[in-house]
Copies of this chain bind each other. A is one copy, B any other.
Amino acid sequence: MKDLVTSAKTEVSEQKGQDATQRRVWIKNEAARVGLAETLSTYVMMAFGLGSVAQVVTGQGAFGQYISINIAFGLAVAMGTYVGGKVSGAHMNGAVSFTMCVFGRLTWKMLPLYICAQLLGSFLASGTIYAIYYEAIHNYCGGNLTVTGPKATAGIFATYPAPYLSLVAGFVDQVFGTAMLLLCVMALSDQKNKPPPAGCEPVIVGLLVMLIGMSLGSNSGYAINPTRDIAPRVFTAIAGWGSEVFRAGHCWWWVPLVAPSVGGVLGAGVYKAFVELHHPHPSEQNRVQVEDEVIPLVKRV
């Protein structure tokens, strides 16, 4: 026991040394800190997410089904959010960052930083997952990297619409999916409503993304995120799938870029219009609290 305490004391002084080191490499610049955290959290989310698609596609049913992708992408969002956490807020989604700017929760000046960090994290994750599943993918498709057809593998990285889907319907689908995402994210972060306990939000947002995949996923693969979609698409164009990734689905590529930004603002706006704007003002709080004592049961479930 004594040795243990002694060694622990040594450790303490070591830790002080470590603190000094930490101080040396410590980045005071807020923007750099935010950029690093946003890049890493997007990387984590995308690596787990794309990995699950790669596993299901190349596993041909033996290593998970569509529902595995829904669950995995949801958990991937949760883990990414824990990583970026309080530092960058872990948007990991250009449409989320854009919506936050529109509603004054993020300065416009920070938007390019978030977008770049997200694109970088997403691109690096695409490369990593291609490297990790390189042999699995080539074993599955016989080395023939295709965008459509029975052994298509481009869908591991970017989203493509179902064969029956028109471009207009796909655009609406992406607007609506992202609107539902932001509507719920605004509700979950509304401290005057019924937010989840501190530290649980990442899991709840993960469940939300899982739900969107189970409910609004079959039409066009629920990108609901411009930076999540374009970076892997560019990666696949470079890595061997070629320019077909931009031509497929009647030039589908631009839809996940534009529609989610529209949908995000729409969904967040609807939540504000229906709920957030009407919360009692602090000046009215007293009156309401009295009411609360009188009819507290309207609010309980």
Contacts and interface: CB of A to CB of B under 8 A. Distances in A.
Interface of A: 1, 3-5, 7-9, 11-12, 14-15, 18, 22-23, 25-34, 36-37, 39-40, 44, 47-49, 51-52, 55, 58-59, 62-68, 70-72, 75-76, 78-79, 81-91, 96, 100, 104-107, 109-110, 128, 131-136, 139, 162, 164-166, 169, 172-173, 176, 180, 183-185, 187-190, 192-205, 207-208, 210-212, 214-219, 270-271, 274-275, 277-279, 281, 284, 291, 294-295, 297-301
The oligomer's copy count stands at 4
Contacts of A219: 132-133, 135-136
A107 B4 contact: yes
Determine the main DSSP class of A at the interface with B: helix
B11 A107 contact: yes
18 contacts: A4-B107, A7-B109, A8-B295, A32-B278, A48-B216, A64-B67, A67-B71, A71-B214, A85-B193, A86-B192, A88-B298, A89-B301, A106-B298, A110-B298, A135-B169, A136-B219, A188-B301, A196-B203
A52 B214 contact: yes
Contacts of A96: 301
Given A40-B275, A184-B83, A215-B55, A1 B18 contact: no
A40 B270 contact: yes
A106 B301 contact: no
Nearest to A134: B169
Nearest to A275: B37
A22 B184 CA distance: 20
B47 A180 contact: yes
Given A44-B184, A64-B67, A139-B164, 5 more contacts: A40-B183, A75-B207, A132-B172, A134-B169, A194-B202
B25 A215 contact: no
A151 to B, nearest CB: 15
Given A44-B180, A128-B176, A184-B83, A216 B274 contact: no
A39 to B, nearest CB: 7
Contacts of A139: 164
A154 to B, nearest CB: 17
B64 A214 contact: yes
Contacts of A40: 183, 270-271, 274-275
A96 B286 CA distance: 29
A301 B5 contact: no
Contacts of A52: 211, 214-215
Given A67-B68, A176-B132, A301 B81 contact: yes
A218 B66 contact: no
